[in-house]
Structure formats: C-alpha cells, structure tokens
Amino acid sequence: MMQILFEDYYLLIVNKPAGLSSESGRERHPSAEDEALLYFTGQLQEKSTSKRLKTTPYLRAVHRLDRAASGILVFAKTKTALVNLMGQFENRSVAKVYWAKVENRPPAEKGKLTNWLIKDPAGRKAVIVEKSGRDTQHCELEYTLLEKSGKEFLLEVQPATGRFHQIRAQLAHIGCPIAGDVLYGGKPWKEQQIKLHARRFTCKHPKTGELLELECMPNEGW
C-alpha cells in the first residue's frame, strides 16, 4: 500500500510511487487510484456503518501527477470535497512545490520561466512555442538551485500554473532535462520513472477551511 500522509472523512492524501498512473484509465496501467480505492473499500467494510458507502464508495483524484513522477497526490472522499478543492486549483490558491534532479546546471541559481506550451500531434509531449497561438497554453514556474549531487543538480520548483508536462518541458527548454526523462532529452534512469517529486502541498481543508500543509521526501536512492 502507498504511504498515507493524511486521512479523514473528506480526504485521502498519499505519496504516489513513480510508475503508477494517478487515475485508472483506458490504457490499464497500474494506478494510484485503484490502490487507494482498494484500501478505502477495505476500511469501509471494516469500520463504516453506511450500507450505501460500502456498496458504492466515492473516491476521486483531485489533480494529476505524471505517471513517471512521485509524490503527494490528493483524493477526495466526497463530491463536496472534490468540488471545493477543484475550485481551489482553479483559483490558484493551492500551492505545490516539486523537487527535480536535472542533468545540467541551470543558467542561474534562481529563475522564473514563462513560456507557451502546445501538445504534440500525438498528445504525448508538451512543446514550447515562442508566442501565443491556437491551442497554446501559458505556463509559468519559479525554480531555485538547492545543491549539486554527483552529476545532477537538485532544483526546487514552484509552478504557478498546472499545465500538461510543464515542469518537464520548461526545464528541458533551458537545457536542464530531468534525470530519467528520455521523452524530453534526459538520460535513462529506471523504467517509467523520472527524478521529479511532488514535495510539498498546501491547501485549505474543504470542510473546516483550516490550512493543510503536507510534505514528503523522495524514496531512498532517488
């Protein structure tokens, strides 16, 4: 079972391993959603008195985390919690911080990257384009160089937007592909794994409104 970082009546927050899709889908990859639902269903059968919940448990991923990445992934246990948190994402009141190990030193120790993205024709990759146009999306992130580890450089990355593959594409665009990310020019590491980790997550609890701050470290050997 995945490491559980937080759980109550409304939320289940886990540390997703690299290699698992966030949600179950048509491609039938192993998914964090399936594992979380299996755990949640077992808990309901053991502890819940609600026949309705035991028959049709509700669990939905609030956001996505790339299959090849690891880190904090949030599931909602109620529709109200899902709608509330999706609203927080839309309003950009949620804060997410990532760690990324890249293959080259960035041009500056701190930087802000602002670009336009478009998906390639196959829909598998994000491509940086020079200006806004049809089907492009604005993307923005800030990074800080934390340390050099062997031949890799550890960056802390805070995206201001949540676009498809934006961290991977934007870092590759400045000559700093993420280790293991062969799709964006990185050298192979482990199958279906890259050195991108969702390190911190901050939001307001969908029921109480209290600030919820979570952290988790990458697995050993990352």
Q: Which of 23-27, 77-81, 188-192 has the lowest mean pLDDT?
A: 23-27
pLDDT digits (tens, 9 = 90+) for 124-157: 999 999 889 888 999 999 999 999 988 999 999 9
Query: Phi, psi at residue 86, to the nearest 5°?
Result: -65, -35
Owner of token pair 């959603």 = 33
Q: How many CB atoms lie within 10 A of CB 54?
A: 12
Question: In whole angstroms, what is the distance from residue 185 CA to residue 162 CA?
Answer: 21
Question: In whole angstroms, what is the distance from residue 185 CA to residue 202 CA?
Answer: 31
pLDDT confidence of residue 57: 82
Q: 1: pLDDT confidence band, cut at 50, 70 and 90?
A: low
Q: Which of 128-132, 179-183, 199-203 has the lowest mean pLDDT?
A: 128-132
**Across all residues in the chain, what is the average pLDDT?**
92
93 token code pair: 């009141």
pLDDT digits (tens, 9 = 90+) for 35-58: 888 888 878 676 665 665 556 789
The set of catalytic residues is 66
What is the mean pLDDT of the segment spanning 4-28? 89
CA-only gyration radius of the chain, Å: 18
Query: Phi, psi at residue 153, to the nearest 5°?
Result: -120, 125
Question: In whole angstroms, what is the distance from residue 132 CA to residue 66 CA?
Answer: 25
Residue 90 burial class via C-beta count within 10 angstroms: exposed 0-12, middle 13-18, buried 19 and up: exposed
Please state the pTM of the whole predicted model: 0.91
Domains, the chain: 3-215 (3.30.2350.10)
Question: In whole angstroms, what is the distance from residue 54 CA to residue 42 CA?
Answer: 9
Is the pLDDT confidence value at 214 over 60? yes
